[in-house]
Amino acid sequence: MKAITFVTQKGGSGKSTLCISLAVAAQEAGHTVCILEMDRQATVSDWLDHRTAPGPEVAQIDATQIEAVMERLAESAYDFVFIDTPGVDSPGTLSAIRAADLCIIPCRPTPADLRAFKPTLAAVYRLEKRFAFVLNQTPPRSYRIRDAADGLAVLGILPDVNIVARTDHQDAIGLGQGVTEFNPKGQAADEVRRLWTWIERRAQAGTRGRMKHVEAA
């Protein structure tokens, strides 16, 4: 079981939207997924209320519960646990980072967003967690993306796909779907599938790296 935490203190950057659509994309790729929602705004639970298709499981938890819940999930059959965190610093944020095998930091390509992820990144570094940025709500083509990508590339890891601002994302969430269910042949779905492939590889790479280390020891 791998835990992937969606985290950044910047509100509205796309944590919940990406968490949901990537969870659905992971299911479509054959994995079992559950989502832990640590945000009282309850975006994921609201989405689930509108959902008619099966999975993923969603549980609302708070900072006091996460350790025990993660211990139970470690014994479970889930391939992936996705953790959605609030857009403000909270006691839960640090514990969600601590629980993660990989932290995903969504970021819009704006100067304000690029400044705002720094406290999150500091916490991720302090806890020595693997992480990746995802540029979200980008224009289809823009010098802004290049500027942001150059800045992020030197700081850490950036997938080979950006998530463009598209109404498919908003419409899918409203209907209780992932974007790959809402419009499977659309460009938004294609980007999310490619992003999932990249994230899955990165999440599994940690295991292989550690196992090699153990074998060599």
Q: Are the CB atoms for 173 and 192 separated by under 8 Å?
A: no
Q: Which is nearer to ligand ATP, 11 or 140 (CB)?
A: 11
DSSP string computed for 179-200: HHHHSTTSHHHHHHHHHHHHHH
**Sole binder of ligand ATP in the list 12, 111, 119, 209 (CB under 6 A):** 12
Task: Give the bridge partners for 84, in sequence order.
Answer: 6, 37
As a whole number of angstroms, the distance between CA 133 and CA 20 comes to 17
User: Among 2, 51, 129, 166, which residue interacts with ligand ATP (rule: CB under 6 A)?
Assistant: 166
Closest CA to 93 of 122, 118, 120, 59: 120
Q: Least distance (Å) from Mg ion to the CB of residue 6?
A: 8
| Secondary structure class of 135 (helix, strand, coil) | strand
**By CB under 5 A, residue 16 contacts Mg ion:** yes
Q: Does residue 95 belong to the site contacting ligand ATP (CB under 6 A)?
A: no
Q: Per CB under 6 A, which region of 7-15, 29-37, 45-53, 203-211 contacts ligand ATP?
A: 7-15
Q: Which parts of this chain interact with ligand ATP (CB under 6 A)?
A: 11-17, 39, 41, 43, 86-87, 136-137, 163, 165-166, 169-170, 173
